[in-house]
Structure 1
């Protein structure tokens, strides 16, 4: 008989006689408990103090009958709840669902799985086909670029009247403050909570168009829907803002004046 077979036979005999076992001592303890101990054969085939607490599975000093006296009890969780929905309609954020523990894992069983799960909201909302416009990020650049536009006489498609939209910045990435190039230095003036003006003019406002892409014109609740923006020249500079109002002309300081692209 192989050494492994002999050991299995010895364990069986010891278990039947109840010598130095968790069963004979009436022990089966959760967690780590140094008082949950007796004398007997251990699973590593040595004799001495052996434990009947859950930690013995990791420390390898369990009594030989630990698995029989303290069988692993698997974790049981409930079904997933319904998705909570999106915190703000038409905002690229997250929706949440959760579940609860019906029976906790015991005696070295695998720990319970995650009880909270997140998923994106953009695709979730877009199933209703109500948010396609608001999910398009507004591309912006410094207002000084408008002078270059006029110099190139891009207004060759007729007298298209532009307009200005005022936004409040609600969140932005750290990448905006790391814009050190001469053409991206304007991004350093962006601050959460500040109000900015963004002008919609040709060619961003083409012939036959009524508004610039991403300006929130189709948002159903002005001031309550978070819209996305992206700075041109630095893909790491982006964030969210809320539309305040539309104006015929911009009245913000030059450092807070921008253009739709």
Structure 2
């Protein structure tokens, strides 16, 4: 009985030795023998063979994409694990403007056809967005126009000479002192999509309080019958009112205006033409900005 047990133990030992030797003999020496190419960094994705960096002191070479950075790829990496760049479809058409009644944005997309592998080039941008203006032809827009005009007719535009506009962007001046504090609102330091716009207004009435002010001589130009140019700068635009200046008027309709920091200096005017993108002439004494 003891002899049988001894022979059995010897057989198991021999089997283990041969198994161990077999494993040593069949260790993969490159990526092809390993039969594996891995993305990113994968420390288990290695073989036992020569490396591209010819470092004979290391016994392992790697078949993951990160080996290109580490310099420890197996010698056949470029042949066996050929890089595959990302491939994408053509751009789809632009979607409709997300605001059919005014300024908004629209986007277009493209999709991935082939994802990158083995250190191939990453995928490019898959989404693009750009500013747009809705056509304003829907019934909803027409109704909004009536509502907006009613709101705009009730507003009073507050104005300052156009020369003060430079204080909004120049760092040479202290913006929170005196009359300059009126130049900044909730949108200060925010990036807005709408550019500066302007229009021309005919002053139809002016209070006597506008004239002969030693500390505000610019108010003397706000006389009945005078045409003035008034611009709306992004800093003064109100998001809640559709990204526009309060009191910017309605074409051919009578609305109110007032001069900032000139007590009781106010009046009425009519907007002569639709708003246009651009600015008033900086050296024009009849040019102003909304605040």
* Higher RCO by CA contacts (8 Å cutoff, separation 6 or greater): 1
How many angstroms does 1:52 deviate by? 0.7
**Distance in 2 between residues matched to 1:111 and 1:51, nearest whole Å:** 21
Q: 1:242 to 1:34 in 2, by over 3 A?
A: same
Looking at secondary structure, tell me which structure has more helix per residue: 2
TM-score in terms of structure 1 length: 0.50
Q: 30, 33, 50: which one pairs with 2:39?
A: 30
Q: 1:21 to 1:41 in 2, by over 3 A?
A: same
Q: 130, 134, 139: which one pairs with 1:119?
A: 130
Check the 8 A contact 1:54/1:107 in 2, yes or no.
yes
Q: 175, 182, 187: which one pairs with 2:183?
A: 187
TM-score in terms of structure 2 length: 0.46
How many angstroms does 1:260 deviate by? 5.8
> How many pairs does the alignment contain?
173
1:179-198 CA-partner distances (Å, limit 9, x unpaired): 2354422124x336xxxxxx
Structure 1 stretches lacking a partner, 5+ long: 1-17, 126-139, 146-173, 193-198, 215-228, 232-236
Alignment of 1:12-161 (within 5 A): 20-47=29-56, 48-89=59-100, 94-121=105-132, 142-143=158-159
Question: RMSD in angstroms over aligned alpha carbons?
Answer: 4.7
Structure 2 stretches lacking a partner, 5+ long: 1-26, 136-155, 162-167, 188-199, 204-220, 238-242, 267-286
SS across alignment from 1:62:
coil
